[in-house]
Copies of this chain bind each other. A is one copy, B any other.
Amino acid sequence: MEIKEYGEFGLIKHLTEKFPLKNKSSLYGVGDDCAVIDVDPSEGKTVVTTDLLLEGVHFDLTYCPMRHLGYKACVVNFSDVYAMMGTPRQITVSLGISKRFKVEDLDELYAGMKLACDIYGVDLVGGDTSASMTGLTISITCIGVANDPVYRNGAKVNDLICVSGDLGAAYVGLQLLEREKAVYYQEYNDWKRNGAQGTMPVFKPKFEGKEYLLERQLKPEARKDIVAKLNEAGIKPTSMMDISDGLSSELLHICHQSKVGCRIYEERIPIDYQTAVQAEEFNLNVSTCALNGGEDYELLFTVPLAQSELIQQISGIRLIGHITDERLGAAMITRDGNSEITLQAQGWNAFASSESKK
C-alpha cells in the first residue's frame, strides 16, 4: 500500500495507535504540538539522549530487516540511558521516508519499535513524519529518569575498569553480512552475464552456527539487567558509558573526561567463542575487533577498588584493568605481558572517508 493513500496524519495515526501509554509519567502522547510528561521528582533527574540513523551510513537494508532496524534504533537510545544508570521512559520517533517504501515496510519498522518499547517498558509519545528525497532517515530521542546519574568524568586512580558481556561480536557479524552480500551480488552478476535464464538460483548465505554474531549486529540489547544488578548490589560506579564506538574510543573518553590514565589487559577482554573463530577466518585480530569494532552496546564502567569482591560476584561483568594517574596515559598490556600498546580512538569516524564502516 502506498503511503500517500494515508497522508501524513493518517499515517501517523496508523503507525502509533498500537502504542498505548504504559508509564504513569506519560501524561499525553502522540497527537498534539508536544507530548506531556509528568516527571516525578522522587524518581530523580530527567535524562535525554538522541540518535540519528541514516540509510547507507548507519544501516544497509540489503541485510537489515525493517523489524530489526526498528528494534535496534530504539535499543541504541535505551543503552545511552542505562549508561547513566537511568531508566528509559519515553521516545519520540521522527522518520524521513522516500517513495520506495510502502506502508507495509513501516508496519515492520514499527513492529520492531513496539517490541523494543514493550520489553524495555518505554512509551512512544511523539515524533514527526516526512517525505525524503532519498532513503530512510530515523531520528529517535529518548527521555528517562536517573536517580543519581553516573557520568563519564568520575573515574578515580586505582578504580577497577569493568565491562559487561563480550565485545567485538557486532563488528565481526557486520563483516559476515558484508561478505555474504558481496557473494550474493557476485552470483547475481554471474547469472546476468550468462543470459539471466529463468529465475536466479536461490541464494543461501552461509550463516549456520553464526547466529550469535548476526544477532549482536542486527538485534542488539541494552544492558538493563546489568544496571539492575548494580543497583541491587548497592554499587554506584564512579563513571560509566556504553560501548558504541569500540572499547578503545570509549575508554579514552572516560580517561579524558576524568583526567586519568588506564591499563587494561588484553587477556581480560571478554570475547565470545564464535567471535574468535570468525575473526580468525577473516584474518582479523580479535582484540582489534573488540577495541575498535563498536556497536557492542555493552556497559563500560569503573568502580572503587574496595568494591572488587562485590563486583566479582555479579555474573556477566568482567574486570579488565584499572585506572591510573593521567601521566601514565591509556594503554593495553598485551597477552604475553611484555608490552604495552597505547590505546587510540580508531572507532568510527564517519567523516574520515566516504566509505562507511557500519
Contact = CB atoms under 8 A, between A and B. Distances in A.
A214 B339 CA distance: 65
A307 interface: no
A128 B51 contact: yes
A332 interface: no
A312 interface: no
A16 interface: no
A349 B130 CA distance: 9
Interface string A69-105: 0000000000011011010001010111101000000
Contacts of A135: 133-134
A45 interface: yes
A109 to B, nearest CB: 15
Nearest to A51: B128
A111 to B, nearest CB: 21
A4 B349 contact: yes
Contacts of A36: 45-48, 84, 146, 149
A316 interface: no
Nearest to A4: B351
Interface stretch (A52-60, A168-176, A178-186, A192-200): A52-60
A6 interface: yes
Contact of A46 (B39, B139, B257): B39
Contact of A130 (B7, B58, B153): B58
Contacts of A141: 48, 50, 92, 141
Contacts of A130: 52, 54, 57-58, 350
A356 interface: yes
A7 B96 contact: no
A52 B131 CA distance: 10
B131 A241 contact: no
Interface string A20-42: 00000001100111111111010
A100 B265 CA distance: 42
A152 B32 contact: yes
Nearest to A97: B351
A188 interface: no
A256 B139 CA distance: 28
Contacts of A81: 33-34
B92 A50 contact: yes
Most B CB contacts (10 A, CB to CB) among A9, A45, A57, A141 go to: A141
A52 B94 contact: yes
Contacts of A149: 28, 34, 36
Given A4-B352, A351-B4, A351-B7, A45 B37 contact: yes
Nearest to A5: B351
Interface in A122-147: 125-128, 130-135, 137, 139, 141, 143-144, 146
3 closest pairs, A vs B, by CB? A139-B139, A34-B47, A131-B350
8 contacts: A6-B351, A34-B48, A34-B149, A50-B128, A52-B128, A131-B350, A134-B134, A137-B137
Given A7-B351, A8-B349, A52-B94, 9 more contacts: A4-B353, A11-B351, A34-B146, A36-B84, A54-B133, A57-B133, A58-B130, A137-B139, A139-B139
